[in-house]
Structure 1
Amino acid sequence: MKDGIYSSLDIGTTSIKVIVSEVLNSKMNVIGVGSEKCNGINKGLIIDIDETAQSVKKAVKQAEEKSGIQIGSLIVGVPATNVEINPFHVTVSVENASQEINNSLLKKIIELIKSKKVPNDKTLLSIMVEEFLVDGFDGIKDPRKMVGEQVELYGTLLAVSKTVLHNIKKSVNNAGFEISDMIFQPHAMSELVMSEDERRFGTIQIDLGGGQTSASAVHDEQVKFATIIQEGGENITKDISVVLNTSLRNAEKLKREVGYAFRDDNQEKDQLISVDVVGQEGNIEVKESYIAEIIEARLSQIFEKVREELEEIGAFDLPGGIIMTGGTAAIPGVEELAEDIFEVNVKTYIPDFMGVRYPSFSNAIGLVHSKAKMDELSKVINHMILNKEYALSETGPQETQPAVSTTQKNSHQQDNKDNESVIEKIKSIFSNFFE
């Protein structure tokens, strides 16, 4: 991982999350967190750019105050909404076979992919390189500085809706921030939650969000399939609210405090919970097991829909099983319910960083992690796709600070006497944040 300070933006289905992280000696530490509810998003889509931009501003401000870093640009995540994932093969001729292959040829390849391989209603987001061939010699990961007459590229392209990408860019820019990179969220998450072997041999990941659930299959270290179910934690809250005739606020509190996704019928403890009912003076009492039944019913429905999608592509043959994360994955019993329905090994990923030991931050952390470990070739390709002119430099992207401006607001960060990292200097601020 490349040392530096990075800032990421996760535009989730119900809230905006910002993470500021310091990578020091290849170790990542979260030093700033921002989280803001957003009414400009519906079912994972931005429906109000101005409202979303305001939420981005507020979330960034929170992260700035916690970290002491003034954020200038953001690594932005792109969800699996309307994504198209296709393998491709393209071939280009080298104009001057006596000269070394350089970034100009990469740009030519990208333009060819855009024109020939991407549907008209989509825009190219990313390219996952499998291998290059130079004059028939295969297994090449980076052809630059080599010589040859013909270059071939085998890989997988990610194309997303032009509308989705435009609205994300517009919201970030209207909030007053630049975009340093745009990364496909399932790809970033897979690099965070999976081991190298799990990505190579094949594993399923499920992100249980507030407004929707996304599932993706990873094999050969690439995302091969991604889908979205338009149901998530908010639906569980609404179910509890409707069944118990209580407010959404009360329903959310019940879900978080006593909710359980897979209650054992033999479990002895089944306490009565007092519930404030709309239109009734006194509270009613319901058993915890009854609330668990409501939660289990909705989650079972979500998992069954996910199962249908994954069975169509044979994803359950992948040996890695399932890794779950996302805010709704924090409900006790989700793992057991998932194993019962999917009939494969299931485990839950919970971030283990000071201040963000909660699965709802997995996407935001994954974006920073992915950017910090990105190789130089991938950076060049990403910047070319984003139409960043400096990507054409033969030495690669020229970024003085990829994710944040260099302005620091806390004077104590200027003191290098003890050569402490930023994370050590602000531990007291974060010790109980989001525990």
Structure 2
Amino acid sequence: MEQENYSVGLDIGTTKIVAIIGKENEYGKIEVLGIGRSKSLGVHRGVVNNITQTIKSIQQAVEQAEANSGLKIGSVVVGIAGQHIRSLQHSDYITRANSEEVINEDDLEKLCNQVYKLVMLPGEEIIHVLPQEYKVDGQAEIKQPIGMYGGRLEANFHVVVGQVSSIKNIGRCIKSAGLDLYNITLEPLASSEAVLSQEEKEAGVALIDIGGGTTDLAIFKDGIIRHTAVIPFGGNVITEDIKEGCSIIEKQAELLKIKFGSAWPGENKDNEIVSIPGLRGREPKEITLKNLSKIIHARVVEIVEQVYVEIKNYGHEEQKKKLIAGIVLTGGGSQLKHLKQLVEYITGMDTRIGYPNEHLAGDSEAEIASPLYATAVGLLMNAVENKDKRRLKTIEEEQEREMVLEGHDEMGTATAAKKERKSVFDRWSEKLKDFLDNAE
């Protein structure tokens, strides 16, 4: 199968690296063709801190996915997270030369490109510019201004910013692993694609993706992304606490957390004990499950409270900004027992666990529908969507070229030339964007 027909999402996490190959089937669902995962050794809190180890881990995951599917991986869509990610709100406007013409894609693109020119702090780069609402000649709360008349086009933007060095390091790892970087996207956005429904995004929802090294937050309201944040704590900190609190090695702490861990200490009886083999002939250790869940509880409360501060910063307590659909938990950390109840208790908001199975074809493996793979599935969806957009653009450009060649009557030639000019402008703005993206 040629590369054109399938796409690849690559999730470079703190605990695992997942490569997932898939394509869209005739029903618009994602059909997973192969998946590979490896232990992530060179990433700390979502940021690459050992290039060589990360390249090795990426290659392992990619080789496994290729062996599973019998396909060759060329280009990938990668997720970015980490404590260096921050977001800001920004408003900008353009004055249109001719207000007698309707607003079109070019105008929106011009406005977006203007935001990419924003001066950032040294060493920072804009990753995403996400339009929220538009204003046309002072008329507010317009979701889609294409086709309207107006001289002044304004918009509020949610701008996501990250460290240039971290982004370049990811790019370097991808290239050195023998792959092409097709696109880079914010991980909470990818996860939200995979686990949230359109109704939830309309009603207002907070997606909390609890990974190994970071906890990512994305807030939607009225179908638009309103707030994103990355909190530099995740499941690994809980494991670290168990390791310290019970004086055991990390591997045992991780197993304890997965098998017996609970975020709610009240449900364990005092006499429930688990025995852990000692190292090299030493006596086995006995740990009460009540103590274990107390250690987990303390750290989980801290993580959830930090996320709740971000939700309050967005303005959830205002009537107009209320998140009616509550909270959706996803990521590997969301599988912790009784976490849902604890989050509901702390925040007072309805909570559910998000599984990425809604967009997957019916015959997908049950394993892939786990919250663990939410980001990877989201990245794959992003890759498929981008591929479709590019394909459509190529078809449109071909049609325009044919129209230019066939444009006999003056009117036809004029419109065709105008269309041809638009695609030239498109190419120019893409070049500009590339230039800005690569600017140091």
TM over 0.5: yes
- CA shift digits 1:270-301 (9 cap, x unpaired): 64211134587221323323222221121112
CA distance in 2, matches of 1:285, 1:102: 65
CA distance in 2, matches of 1:99, 1:323: 40
- 1:201, CA displacement in angstroms? 2.4
- 1:206, CA displacement in angstroms? 0.8
Which residue of 81, 86, 89 corresponds with 2:89?
86
CA distance in 2, matches of 1:224, 1:120: 25
Which residue of 202, 205, 208 corresponds with 1:206?
208
The alignment partner of 2:94 has SS state of strand
Matched, 1:126 2:152: no
Kindly report the root-mean-square deviation, in angstroms, between the aligned alpha carbons of the 2 structures: 3.4
Q: Percent identity?
A: 25
Does the Cα contact within 8 Å between 1:273 and 1:288 map onto a contact in 2?
yes
The gaps in structure 2 that reach 5 residues or longer are 358-363, 394-421, 428-440
Matched, 1:177 2:189: no
Which residue of 114, 118, 128 corresponds with 1:112?
114
Give the structure with the larger helix fraction: 2
The alignment partner of 1:58 has SS state of helix
Give 2:340's aligned residue. 335
Give 1:292's aligned residue. 293
Give 2:235's aligned residue. 233
Which residue of 218, 221, 224 corresponds with 1:222?
224
CA distance in 1, matches of 2:314, 2:132: 21
Which residue of 377, 380, 386 corresponds with 1:365?
377
Does the Cα contact within 8 Å between 1:187 and 1:222 map onto a contact in 2?
no
**Equivalenced residues, count:** 380
- CA shift digits 1:15-61 (9 cap, x unpaired): 21111122102011222112122222112111222322222111111
The alignment partner of 1:126 has SS state of strand
CA distance in 1, matches of 2:279, 2:152: 68
Which residue of 347, 350, 353 corresponds with 1:345?
350
Give 1:322's aligned residue. 327
- Change in Cα spacing, 1:187 to 1:274, as seen in structure 2 (3 Å) is same
- Change in Cα spacing, 1:236 to 1:68, as seen in structure 2 (3 Å) is same
Which residue of 175, 193, 202 corresponds with 2:195?
193
The alignment partner of 1:323 has SS state of strand
Looking at both structures, which has the greater relative contact order when contacts are Cα pairs under 8 Å and sequence separation is at least 6? 1
- CA shift digits 1:147-199 (9 cap, x unpaired): 97856252423232222222221221221111112222222222222111211
Does the Cα contact within 8 Å between 1:203 and 1:323 map onto a contact in 2?
yes
The code of the aligned residue for 1:216 comes to: A
- 1:142, CA displacement in angstroms? 7.1
Give 1:410's aligned residue. none
The gaps in structure 1 that reach 5 residues or longer are 381-391, 398-435
Matched, 1:356 2:359: no
Give 2:412's aligned residue. none
The code of the aligned residue for 2:86 comes to: V
The code of the aligned residue for 2:249 comes to: S
TM-score (normalizing by structure 2): 0.76
- 1:208, CA displacement in angstroms? 0.9
- Change in Cα spacing, 1:238 to 1:136, as seen in structure 2 (3 Å) is closer
Q: Which moved more, 1:55-64 or 1:268-277?
A: 268-277
- 1:209, CA displacement in angstroms? 0.9
The alignment partner of 1:36 has SS state of strand
The alignment partner of 2:6 has SS state of strand
